[in-house]
Structures are given as structure tokens and as C-alpha cells.
Structure 1
Amino acid sequence: MLRGILLVVFAIVGLSGVPSSPLAASPDPARFIFVASMLDPTVAVIDSATDAVVSRARLPGMPKQIAALNKGAELVASDAGARRLYVIDAVSGSVKRELDTGIAPIVLQVDRTGTLFAIADPDAGVVELMRPAGGPVLRIPNLAGLRSMAFAPDGRLLVARGTRLALVDTATGRITADLAADGRDGPIVQVATDPGGEYAFAVHDDRGVLTVFPLKDPAKAMRVQLPPPVGRLLPSADSQFVMIPVAAGQAVSLISTWTLKESARIPMSDHVSGLGLGLFQSVSIGLSRAARTVQTIDLRDRRRLAPLSVPGVPEAGAPSPDGLKFYVALSDTGRVAVIDVLNASVSRVIDDVVGGASAVVSAVGAAYCH
């Protein structure tokens, strides 16, 4: 596991409503930011080089979740009502393929290569594995209590169900291991892995507990107690740490992947409803829906910087692929605030992106807000 060096990023200040101009030449899909809403069957595509909306995909149904494919050239969107996945050409905005599913795709995950989808219907307790180009579907039934799933870097699928974690061989659909967390901690509501593939993190929200399973020896589970309740966990892209809101969003904890202990707990001025990371994991970005603010943490000094008011409810966010900007969807206005991390400012607010925006995804990379 490589040891990164955390950089310094200072406070984000100011707002701007400067309009963007359309891009004359064909944009590079690797620069795309995708914005979707569960209230409008449209996915907007922003070029992070110009902050212009360069295309829009009009879908046959409402997207439940979206994920980027093929370095931003394509996008997949799940439609739970129609039991269908849509594969979209990101440049033209056209729907290239529609894939029927045997279950409602409430949860969608894409593997590291972008060549395998996992969809889940928690009510049915079923997972299906399918390819973007179609073909045979592997069904994994009898997963009562299913709440979350994630692909490990080695290609295995981790499925959280009740207080247990199933490890699935995606080539066969067989469960190769069934790991148990402490039943007293309650159900696992989220499972995530560090990008280096060393650990699986299982979140027990009400009890404020992380169960950590070493993926090379998952029987040796460890338990990390935090101030309950906790929010959604976010691993750093360099596998150095994970972050999680604690004490009902009043603070953010950093858990070192070297020690698997809490290395810092940073009080926040407003309730944190979502977390993100920017500029090579050197700054944490916390969204507060209730306060309509964006808060930043300088991860070198482990200190909270001044909250920034934004013109709307910050619902979700994601960094640009180069990490220099952070895009925040304002769900009540259909706008997107663009944070220029290097120059410590909100450089632009993009108008008329998509009504009720609730998901933001970068073409490449991780560190999106939940």
C-alpha cells in the first residue's frame, strides 16, 4: 500500500454566476461530469474543461442510479420501474442499448473494468450479474436482508445482508465465503472497500460501528467503535484512510488504513449529510442539506475551514477527473455549483442543468459525495 503525501487546500469562498460558452470542438469524454435526477428522465453531461452542458440524454424512464463506463464515453442508468438498464452514448446523448433485468435494479454497481454490472433488489433479496453488451445473466437468490453491495478490486462482489457479508465469485455466481459481524451491532447498511483491496468496511449506522474484514484473511475481523449514529463511509482513492460522518453528522472521523484506528475527529459547524474528496485527497468536502452550506477540511492540518453558503440545497457532488474542481448539485434549483479548489473559490454556478438533481458522477476516478 503506497503512502501518499497530503497537500494543503485552503477555504473555498465566493460565488459566481458567470455563464459558460459551448465547446466548439468535440469534448474529451474523460473530462465529463454526469448529473441525474430521479424526478426528471434526463442526464446532463458537463465538460469539466469549460463547465458547459455539452449534451443531454433523454431516457425512457426515471434513472434510479447512474455510473460511468469506458472512461466517460458511455453511461449506464438503472430504471427500477421498467426493470431495465440503459447504456448511453455520453457524447451524443443517445440511448445505445436497453437491457431488460429480471428484478427491479434498485442498487447498481459496476466493476473496476466497466465490463460487469451487479444489480440488486433488496425487497426480493436477489442480485443479478450482467454484461453491458448483454448475454447470459447470473442470478444470486436467497439474500434476505440485503442492504448494500460493492465490487472488490479483485473482481469479487461483496453483498451485505443483515449482519453478514457474502463474498461472491462473479464468474460462477457462487458465494465463496459468508462472513459474520457481531450480531449485537445490528445490520450492515453499507459495505465498501479501499481501492487497494486490502479491507472491506461494513457500516452499522445506529451503533456507530465499523466492522473491518481483511480481504486476504476475512475471518480476522476487527471492530471500530465511533460516536453513533454514523453516516456513509468514503474511502480515499489512495487507500490511506476512510472518512465517515459521526455523532449524527456533527463531526467527521478519519480512520487510518495503516492502524485501523481513528486518527482524527473533526467537529463540523453544520450537520454533514454527504462527503467528498478533492485535489488528490488533500481536502475533504462536506455537504449540509439543512444549512445549505459546503464545508471543507484541510487534511494536512486536520482542521475545519469556514462553511460556504451555496444558492440551493447541496444534494450530491463529485470531483472533476483531474481533482481541481468539485461539482455540487443543488437539488431545489436544478443548478450545479462549481468549486475551483486551487483558487479557493466557487468559480461558477451552472444554470438549468436538470431539475431535482440528486446524483453527480465523474467520468473517471472516485471520491464522490453520497
Structure 2
Amino acid sequence: MPMRSTIRLALAGVGLMAAAGAVAAEEIVLKVHHFLPPPSTAHAKFITPWCEKINKESAGRLKCQIYPAMQLGGTPPQLIDQVRDGVADIVWTLPGYTAGRFPAVEAFELPFMTRTAQGASRALWEYVRANKLDQSEFKDVHPILFHVHDEGHLHLRKGPIRTLADFKGLKLRAPTRQTNKLLAALGATPVGMPVPQVSEALSKGVIDGAMLPWEVVPAVKVQELVKYHSETDPASRALYTTAFIFAMNRAKYDSLPPELKKVIDANGGAEASAWVGKIWDDSAPAARNLAVKRGNQFNTIPAAELKNWERAGQAVYDSWIKEVSARGHDGKALLRSARELIDKYDTK
């Protein structure tokens, strides 16, 4: 073969190798969608750092394009379908925003179950895996992690709640089906709505107050719209919490090369779930302090009074067990599983 042809072939081979290397190292941009503004804890302290971490650990091959505050369109309840359908590659949302669609995971949203977000988030991940919910309720997406928020409290416009009787006649916002049922059992009129709607509903007097964790209060400026904060005895289990999912489009995950799947996997699971829960726990004191600085009024519902609330809320447990059992689960076994895992990981 002439020398010139040999050189051409060698150069062509080098070019093909370079092109193959470029394809192998091609940057993959992941569209990440969620419903809160950029200053929120979720955006600033969880999603952004998580994206920076996978970018570093993938040597720049994985990059996030984050769309906060529903910038890709739609409403918060539509996020889970957006990730299923590939509108977004990753979403952060509440399964409970789609009422009744993920009933088994609602065990963690039953009243008086959890103590800390860190421990309960690890327990939630283990609960999903132990009961194979990732293969049933969440089979259409790839769960990266699950978590819950810090203790939920009552934030009110007109006056505090001190006893069970004080709920009567109040229109109170609740985030999920189980919290709606709890408020009804306690004597209030529940008004279900996603977090982004709370500020307007309070300012227009549509609701008298809201069930919220401290973490999210500054993001929607609730401390500026209410004057009273009724908190439960800190030694007792939380009045309620809410389950969240950070999920990836299944086809997008499956399309990743093995080394990039490992990066996603290394930043998900039980440890990552607990890490996010701790972010929520750690954010609560500073958020609460904003309400203190405004001169808002606080009261603590003692453990003895909370016993009355627990008795009133027993019907919520009974209803949930009946419903999930009718859908093919063993409701009592699921509740027992949730409680055992919470007791194992969630201590104060």
C-alpha cells in the first residue's frame, strides 16, 4: 500500500477514535422541574447542590437545567406525570398532590407517626423498598430518593388553636388526602391546595390558616400573613408530615451508560433520603425565627391535649387501612411496617 494511503487510513482511524470518544463523553443535560421558587430550601439547599454533586462526580458529563416554580408549565399535581412522560427528566414533588394515586406511601402521612425528617426519610425509603412499592405504585418512574418534611404545625390568621374545640368552624389548608381527613376528624373544614396557592388564599381570607412545616413558611411568606402559630409538644410525635419523591424518567435513566447510572445511584437511596430530611430539620429553626422577629404569637399544645386529637384521628387510620386493603395491599401489615421502620430510624 502506498505511504500516502497508509497515512490517510491512519488519520481516518484517529478521527474515528476521537469522534467515538466525544460521543462517549457527551454532556447529558437533565431537565429538573419543581414547584417552589429559587430561594426555597428545596431549590437552594437540596436540588442545586445535588445537581452540582452529580456534575462533579460524572466529570461534567451530567448537567442539570433546573426549572423552578413550574417554569416548564403545568401545575404541581402534574409533575409526576411530566416525569413519567418525559416532559421533565427529573422532578421533585409530593405523591399526595395526586389524590389517591399512591395510597400505600400515605402511611407516612397519617397523623402522629414521625419525629424527625432525617430519620423518617430513611425509614420511608426502606418502607418503599421493603414493600416493593418501587415496583408497583412507582413502577412508571425511577425513584432517586424519598423524604418527608420537618414537623407540621398550624399557622393561623385570627387566633391560636389550644384545644380540639378550637378547630370548629375554621377553614384550614391541608396538603394531602390524609391531612384533609385529619382536619375533618378534628372538626375543621379542610381546604386542599398545593403550597404555591397558600399565600393568596391567606391574603384573600379564603382560608383561616394552614398546616405547614416551618421549612416552607418563608418561601411563601406565611409568617407575614398570619399572626398565630400553634405548635405541638416537641416531645410528642409530629401532628403530621408529608412524603416527597425525587424521581427520574425511567427511559432516561435506562438510557444512561453504566458509569453514569452509578453516579445517579450513588446520590440516591437511603443515605440521600436521610440527607435531604436533615436539610429540612436544620432549616426549621431559622424559618421559625422569622415569625418570632415579626412579633407573632406562639403556643404549644401539651401532650395531654394531643391525646384527644389522637383519639379523634383514629378514624383516619381505620379509613386508610380499609382503602389500601381494598386495593390489594395488607393495610395492617403496611402500617406495622411503617411504624417499625420509623421506630428503628426516627429518634429524637
TM-score (norm 2): 0.23
Higher strand residue share = 1
Higher helix residue share = 2
Q: Which has the higher contact order (CA 8 A, sep 6+)?
A: 2
